[in-house]
Amino acid sequence: MAATATPMGAEPVGTLSASGSFSGKVRHIKIASGYAANIFYGDFVKMVAAGVVEKDTGTTTLTPVGVFMGCAYTDPGTKQMTFSQMWPTGTVASDAVAYVIDDPDAVFKMQGDASLAQTDLGNNVAVVQTAGSTDIGRSKNALDSSTAATTATLPLRIVEFVNGPDSAVGDAFTDALVFFNFGDHQYRQHTGTGT
């Protein structure tokens, strides 16, 4: 039973498409050298006008291009190529790239910050943005359980619950499967992000 809060951000589990797999749906998108915010594995990211990704800090609204799965850059101190689950704030590296699951139909597992009921299935929900763990490089974002409703502007849709030895519907911190609400993902918006 999920009686303890252990949010880990958005963890990919599949897609809504017929193939069902998210493998091969990771795109390399540049990170601006010196970008001054930590980005953790499982954080939502957005593409900005400069053609690079930044952390998407939205809660009741998001404009994501996808979910951050790590990055690669030449470490400014060691001059060695570094692969990391997180982007350390302020890193100066002109070759930095983020690994982003950018499929608009990707499905992610996220933990609610409180209990979710069976009646929340099919509802939309907001995000609780919390600073990630610099020790393990993982996001600590969660679903804002209290917002689960039919509200069209909320960014994520609950499509399933995770039922198993560690989670069940109605647990104190319910695990759910979600995807981006149609129109919130940047690839599904009519306005481009470029300059």
pLDDT tens by residue, 84-139: 999 999 999 999 999 999 999 999 999 999 999 999 999 999 999 999 999 999 99
Residues 6+ apart with CB under 8 A from 60: 126, 147, 153, 154, 155
List helix spans (H) across the chain: none
Residue 148 has pLDDT above 80, yes or no: yes
Q: What is the pLDDT of residue 126?
A: 97
Q: What is the pTM of this model?
A: 0.92
Q: Residue 23: is its pLDDT beyond 70?
A: no
CB 73 within 8 A of CB 90: no
pLDDT digits 0-9 by tens, 37-82: 999 999 999 999 999 999 999 999 999 999 999 999 999 999 999 9
